[in-house]
Protein backbone atom coordinates (compact mmCIF):
# COMPACT_ATOMS: atom_id res chain seq x y z
CA UNK A 1 0.00 0.00 0.00
CA UNK A 2 1.39 3.37 -0.99
CA UNK A 3 0.52 6.68 0.67
CA UNK A 4 1.23 10.10 -0.80
CA UNK A 5 0.95 13.12 1.53
CA UNK A 6 0.42 16.55 -0.01
CA UNK A 7 0.41 19.50 2.38
CA UNK A 8 0.64 23.24 1.95
CA UNK A 9 -1.06 26.58 2.51
CA UNK A 10 -4.43 27.68 1.14
CA UNK A 11 -4.63 28.08 -2.63
CA UNK A 12 -1.32 26.37 -3.42
CA UNK A 13 -3.11 24.07 -5.86
CA UNK A 14 -3.18 21.02 -3.57
CA UNK A 15 -6.65 19.83 -4.57
CA UNK A 16 -6.09 20.12 -8.31
CA UNK A 17 -2.69 18.45 -8.09
CA UNK A 18 -3.68 15.75 -5.59
CA UNK A 19 -6.76 14.80 -7.60
CA UNK A 20 -4.73 14.56 -10.83
CA UNK A 21 -1.96 12.53 -9.18
CA UNK A 22 -4.53 10.10 -7.75
CA UNK A 23 -6.20 9.80 -11.14
CA UNK A 24 -2.90 9.12 -12.95
CA UNK A 25 -1.85 6.48 -10.43
CA UNK A 26 -5.27 4.89 -9.91
CA UNK A 27 -5.12 5.76 -6.20
CA UNK A 28 -7.96 7.15 -4.10
CA UNK A 29 -8.00 10.86 -3.36
CA UNK A 30 -8.76 12.14 0.13
CA UNK A 31 -9.27 15.83 0.87
CA UNK A 32 -8.90 16.18 4.63
CA UNK A 33 -9.82 19.89 4.52
CA UNK A 34 -13.31 18.68 3.59
CA UNK A 35 -13.57 16.93 6.98
CA UNK A 36 -12.74 20.15 8.86
CA UNK A 37 -15.10 22.09 6.59
CA UNK A 38 -17.84 19.51 7.26
CA UNK A 39 -17.41 20.01 11.03
CA UNK A 40 -17.60 23.78 10.48
CA UNK A 41 -20.78 23.44 8.39
CA UNK A 42 -22.41 21.06 10.86
CA UNK A 43 -21.58 23.57 13.63
CA UNK A 44 -23.17 26.43 11.66
CA UNK A 45 -26.30 24.37 11.04
CA UNK A 46 -26.61 23.35 14.68
CA UNK A 47 -25.88 26.86 15.96
CA UNK A 48 -22.66 25.76 17.70
CA UNK A 49 -20.20 28.53 18.53
CA UNK A 50 -16.85 28.00 16.71
CA UNK A 51 -15.01 28.74 19.96
CA UNK A 52 -16.91 26.08 21.97
CA UNK A 53 -14.37 23.23 21.90
CA UNK A 54 -16.44 20.68 23.84
CA UNK A 55 -19.51 21.15 21.63
CA UNK A 56 -17.37 21.01 18.47
CA UNK A 57 -15.71 17.84 19.66
CA UNK A 58 -19.08 16.10 19.82
CA UNK A 59 -19.97 17.49 16.38
CA UNK A 60 -16.70 15.96 15.08
CA UNK A 61 -17.21 12.63 16.86
CA UNK A 62 -20.80 12.27 15.55
CA UNK A 63 -19.97 13.53 12.07
CA UNK A 64 -21.78 11.44 9.45
CA UNK A 65 -19.55 12.26 6.51
CA UNK A 66 -18.59 10.26 3.44
CA UNK A 67 -15.82 11.27 1.03
CA UNK A 68 -16.28 9.59 -2.30
CA UNK A 69 -15.05 10.43 -5.82
CA UNK A 70 -14.31 14.01 -4.82
CA UNK A 71 -17.86 14.52 -3.48
CA UNK A 72 -18.64 15.07 0.19
CA UNK A 73 -21.84 13.73 1.73
CA UNK A 74 -22.92 15.08 5.14
CA UNK A 75 -25.85 13.24 6.71
CA UNK A 76 -26.60 11.79 3.27
CA UNK A 77 -26.70 15.24 1.60
CA UNK A 78 -24.18 16.34 -1.07
CA UNK A 79 -22.48 19.41 0.50
CA UNK A 80 -19.41 19.54 -1.79
CA UNK A 81 -20.14 23.05 -3.08
CA UNK A 82 -21.69 24.32 0.16
CA UNK A 83 -18.38 23.59 1.97
CA UNK A 84 -16.65 26.30 -0.12
CA UNK A 85 -19.08 29.07 0.90
CA UNK A 86 -17.58 32.08 2.71
CA UNK A 87 -19.39 31.40 6.02
CA UNK A 88 -17.67 28.00 6.25
CA UNK A 89 -14.27 29.29 5.08
CA UNK A 90 -14.45 32.13 7.62
CA UNK A 91 -14.66 29.83 10.67
CA UNK A 92 -12.92 26.64 9.53
CA UNK A 93 -9.46 27.56 10.86
CA UNK A 94 -10.91 28.43 14.27
CA UNK A 95 -12.74 25.09 14.32
CA UNK A 96 -9.62 23.20 13.16
CA UNK A 97 -7.39 24.75 15.82
CA UNK A 98 -9.17 22.95 18.70
CA UNK A 99 -7.05 19.98 19.82
CA UNK A 100 -10.13 17.88 20.65
CA UNK A 101 -11.58 18.44 17.18
CA UNK A 102 -8.27 17.38 15.62
CA UNK A 103 -8.07 14.31 17.86
CA UNK A 104 -11.60 13.32 16.87
CA UNK A 105 -10.71 13.50 13.16
CA UNK A 106 -7.25 11.92 13.37
CA UNK A 107 -8.27 8.26 13.62
CA UNK A 108 -10.95 8.77 10.98
CA UNK A 109 -8.28 10.05 8.56
CA UNK A 110 -5.92 7.16 9.34
CA UNK A 111 -8.73 4.66 8.81
CA UNK A 112 -9.53 6.22 5.44
CA UNK A 113 -5.84 6.03 4.49
CA UNK A 114 -5.69 2.34 5.35
CA UNK A 115 -8.29 1.51 2.70
CA UNK A 116 -5.62 1.20 -0.05
CA UNK A 117 -3.25 3.31 -2.13
CA UNK A 118 -4.05 6.96 -1.38
CA UNK A 119 -3.17 10.54 -2.13
CA UNK A 120 -4.11 12.49 0.98
CA UNK A 121 -4.18 16.27 0.97
CA UNK A 122 -4.21 18.71 3.91
CA UNK A 123 -2.05 20.68 6.31
CA UNK A 124 -0.57 18.06 8.65
CA UNK A 125 -0.65 14.84 6.65
CA UNK A 126 3.12 14.34 6.33
CA UNK A 127 3.82 15.65 9.83
CA UNK A 128 1.03 14.05 11.90
CA UNK A 129 -1.62 12.00 10.13
CA UNK A 130 0.68 9.80 8.02
CA UNK A 131 4.23 10.43 9.24
CA UNK A 132 5.34 7.24 7.44
CA UNK A 133 3.85 8.26 4.06
CA UNK A 134 5.95 6.95 1.15
CA UNK A 135 6.07 10.30 -0.65
CA UNK A 136 5.65 13.66 1.09
CA UNK A 137 5.26 16.91 -0.76
CA UNK A 138 4.84 20.45 0.54
CA UNK A 139 3.25 22.59 -2.18
CA UNK A 140 3.45 26.33 -2.05
CA UNK A 141 3.20 29.43 -4.25
CA UNK A 142 3.46 33.17 -3.70
CA UNK A 143 0.51 34.75 -1.85
CA UNK A 144 -0.51 36.80 -4.89
CA UNK A 145 -0.41 33.78 -7.16
CA UNK A 146 -2.48 31.77 -4.70
CA UNK A 147 -5.05 34.58 -4.45
CA UNK A 148 -5.21 34.81 -8.24
CA UNK A 149 -5.81 31.07 -8.59
CA UNK A 150 -8.51 31.10 -5.92
CA UNK A 151 -10.30 33.97 -7.67
CA UNK A 152 -10.17 32.21 -11.02
CA UNK A 153 -11.32 28.92 -9.55
CA UNK A 154 -14.26 30.51 -7.75
CA UNK A 155 -15.18 32.80 -10.67
CA UNK A 156 -14.49 35.91 -8.53
CA UNK A 157 -13.28 39.28 -9.90
CA UNK A 158 -9.55 39.39 -10.68
CA UNK A 159 -8.95 43.16 -10.51
CA UNK A 160 -6.11 44.30 -8.28
CA UNK A 161 -8.26 45.36 -5.31
CA UNK A 162 -10.19 42.06 -5.27
CA UNK A 163 -6.99 40.01 -5.46
CA UNK A 164 -5.52 42.03 -2.63
CA UNK A 165 -8.58 41.36 -0.46
CA UNK A 166 -8.41 37.65 -1.23
CA UNK A 167 -4.68 37.63 -0.52
CA UNK A 168 -5.33 39.14 2.94
CA UNK A 169 -7.96 36.45 3.67
CA UNK A 170 -5.61 33.67 2.57
CA UNK A 171 -2.74 35.12 4.61
CA UNK A 172 -4.95 35.32 7.71
CA UNK A 173 -6.03 31.67 7.34
CA UNK A 174 -2.41 30.55 6.80
CA UNK A 175 -1.35 32.48 9.89
CA UNK A 176 -4.06 30.80 11.97
CA UNK A 177 -3.14 27.35 10.57
CA UNK A 178 0.62 27.84 11.02
CA UNK A 179 0.50 29.24 14.56
CA UNK A 180 -1.96 26.86 16.27
CA UNK A 181 -0.54 24.68 19.05
CA UNK A 182 -1.56 21.27 17.72
CA UNK A 183 -0.43 20.01 14.30
CA UNK A 184 0.30 23.40 12.77
CA UNK A 185 0.83 23.85 9.06
CA UNK A 186 4.56 23.25 8.63
CA UNK A 187 6.92 22.11 5.96
CA UNK A 188 7.97 18.73 7.44
CA UNK A 189 11.75 18.36 7.05
CA UNK A 190 11.34 15.14 5.04
CA UNK A 191 8.76 16.61 2.63
CA UNK A 192 9.89 17.80 -0.80
CA UNK A 193 9.17 21.51 -1.20
CA UNK A 194 7.61 22.37 -4.55
CA UNK A 195 7.00 26.06 -5.33
CA UNK A 196 4.28 25.98 -7.97
CA UNK A 197 4.31 29.73 -8.77
CA UNK A 198 6.15 29.20 -12.04
CA UNK A 199 5.03 25.63 -12.83
CA UNK A 200 2.03 24.30 -14.72
CA UNK A 201 -0.29 21.79 -13.06
CA UNK A 202 1.01 19.07 -15.39
CA UNK A 203 4.63 19.79 -14.42
CA UNK A 204 3.81 19.50 -10.72
CA UNK A 205 1.77 16.33 -11.27
CA UNK A 206 4.58 14.77 -13.35
CA UNK A 207 7.12 15.39 -10.61
CA UNK A 208 4.97 13.77 -7.94
CA UNK A 209 3.97 10.83 -10.13
CA UNK A 210 7.66 10.24 -10.96
CA UNK A 211 8.54 10.26 -7.25
CA UNK A 212 5.78 7.74 -6.48
CA UNK A 213 6.81 5.45 -9.36
CA UNK A 214 10.42 5.53 -8.09
CA UNK A 215 9.21 4.45 -4.64
CA UNK A 216 7.06 1.70 -6.16
CA UNK A 217 10.01 0.46 -8.26
CA UNK A 218 12.30 0.40 -5.25
CA UNK A 219 9.73 -1.61 -3.29
CA UNK A 220 9.12 -4.23 -5.99
O1 LIG B 1 -7.78 22.60 2.35
P2 LIG B 1 -8.88 23.52 2.78
O3 LIG B 1 -8.65 24.95 2.43
O4 LIG B 1 -10.23 23.05 2.37
O5 LIG B 1 -8.84 23.41 4.37
C6 LIG B 1 -9.72 24.18 5.17
C7 LIG B 1 -9.12 24.36 6.56
O8 LIG B 1 -9.14 23.11 7.25
C9 LIG B 1 -7.69 24.83 6.62
O10 LIG B 1 -7.55 26.25 6.51
C11 LIG B 1 -7.27 24.33 8.00
O12 LIG B 1 -7.69 25.22 9.00
C13 LIG B 1 -8.05 23.04 8.14
N14 LIG B 1 -7.26 21.84 7.86
C15 LIG B 1 -6.42 21.37 8.84
N16 LIG B 1 -5.73 20.20 8.66
C17 LIG B 1 -5.85 19.51 7.52
C18 LIG B 1 -6.68 19.99 6.48
C19 LIG B 1 -7.36 21.18 6.67
O20 LIG B 1 -6.29 21.99 9.88
N21 LIG B 1 -5.18 18.35 7.37
Give the distance (Å) from ligand 1 centre to CA of residue 32: 7
Give the distance (Å) from ligand 1 centre to CA of residue 185: 9
Residue nearest to atom 14 of ligand 1 (CA): 33
Predicted confidence (pLDDT) per residue in 61-85, tens digit:
999 999 987 899 999 999 999 999 9
Give the distance (Å) from ligand 1 centre to CA of residue 220: 34
CA distance readout (Å), 169 to 16, 68, 205: 20, 29, 27
Q: What percent of the chain has pLDDT over 90?
A: 93
- For the cut 80, the answer to whether the pLDDT of residue 157 exceeds it is yes
Ligand 1 site, residue 96, Cβ cutoff 6 A: yes
Give the distance (Å) from ligand 1 centre to CA of residue 123: 6
Predicted confidence (pLDDT) per residue in 28-62, tens digit:
999 999 999 999 999 999 999 999 999 999 999 99
Give me the sheet containing 77-78, strands edge to edge. 65-68, 71-74, 77-78
What value does the mean pLDDT of the chain take?
95
Q: What percent of the chain has pLDDT over 70?
A: 100
- 3-state SS of the chain? CCEEEEECCCCCCHHHHHHHHHHHHCCEEEEHHHHHHHHHHHHHHHCCCCCCHHHHHHHHHHCCEEEECCEEEECCEECCCHHHCHHHHHHHHHHHCCHHHHHHHHHHHHHHHCCCCEEEEECCHHHHHCCCCCEEEEEECCHHHHHHHHHHHHCCCCCHHHHHHHHHHHHHHHHHHHHCCCCCCCCCCCCEEEECCCCCHHHHHHHHHHHHHHHHHHHC
Of the pLDDT bands very low, low, confident and very high (cuts 50, 70, 90), residue 92 is: very high
96 vs 150, residue with greater confidence: 96
Atom of ligand 1 nearest to the CA of 15: 1
pLDDT of residue 154: 83
Other CB atoms within a 10 A radius of the CB of residue 189 amount to 9
Residue nearest to atom 5 of ligand 1 (CA): 33
Ligand 1 site, residue 36, Cβ cutoff 6 A: yes
pLDDT of residue 187: 93
Mutate to test the pocket of ligand 1, among 39, 177, 178 (most ligand atoms within 8 A of CB): 177
Tell me the mean pLDDT in the region 177-182.
96
pLDDT of residue 153: 83
Q: What is the pTM of this model?
A: 0.95
Amino acid sequence: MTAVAIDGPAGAGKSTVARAVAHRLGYSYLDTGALYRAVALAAIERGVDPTDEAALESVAVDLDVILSDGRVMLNGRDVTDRLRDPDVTRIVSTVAAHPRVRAALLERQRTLARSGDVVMEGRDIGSTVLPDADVKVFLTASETERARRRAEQAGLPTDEASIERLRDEIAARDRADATRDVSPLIHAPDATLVDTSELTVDEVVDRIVDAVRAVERAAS
